Amino acid sequence: MQYWLMKTEPATFSFDDLMKAPKRTTSWDGVRNYQARNFMQQMKVGDQVIIYHSSAEPPGAAGIAEVAGEAHPDLTAFDAKDDHYDPGSTRDAPRWFVVDVRGVEKLERLVALEELRGNPALADMRLLQRGNRLSVLPVTAAEFREVRAMAKRKPR
DNA sequence: GCCAACGTTGGC
DNA sequence: GCCAACGTTGGC
């Protein structure tokens, strides 16, 4: 089993939106970055995912999800009217993929980015590396456990 | 293959 | 709204 972190802007699609979705599941569409795509293609059913709220006040880890369906073509790339349309992706040769993500549980509290940065146990977390902009990132098992543990403790 | 211009992400 | 840190595009 592997662990991941996926970013979303809660103003567009929040963790609560995921929990309210049919079967608490949604296709994670719109990823248009090759490195992020490659990570999604590595995901297996049952992999655990931290859902992270970006461009939020405050930004931080909001909830836990799991991979419910492995990579398959992102249909929004074929739709000329969609914001994420890419004429370079065709049904014969899809360029972009989604995974299906199922909400598992909301964290007891949002663990803010600032607090993640302040935790020495997370010093190597990829999310916190300078200049990181990837919307899909691997997380180690230890980092995953630590973020969950932080949500159960009082904020510092 | 180089690299300047441009677009995007995302924290602040 | 600003801007650093990217990734992408396209001329050459």
CA pair distance A149, A123, nearest whole angstrom: 16
Which nucleotides of strand B come closer than 7 angstroms to any CB of the protein? 8-12
pLDDT band at A135 (very low <50, low <70, confident <90, very high): very high
Which nucleotides of strand C come closer than 7 angstroms to any CB of the protein? 5-8
Show residues, CB within 7 A, near nucleic chain C: A 33-35, 130-133
Is A150 within 7 A of strand B by CB distance? no
Count of domains in chain A?
1
A13 closest CA partner among A63, A66, A47 = A63
pLDDT exceeds cutoff 80 at A156: no
Q: What percent of chain A has pLDDT over 70?
A: 99
**C5 closest protein residue (CA to C1'):** A131
Give the structural domain span for A34. 3-152
Contact A36, A126 (CB under 8 A): no
pLDDT digits over A66-100, tens only?
999 999 999 998 888 888 888 888 888 899 999 99
Report the CATH number at residue A61: 3.10.590.10
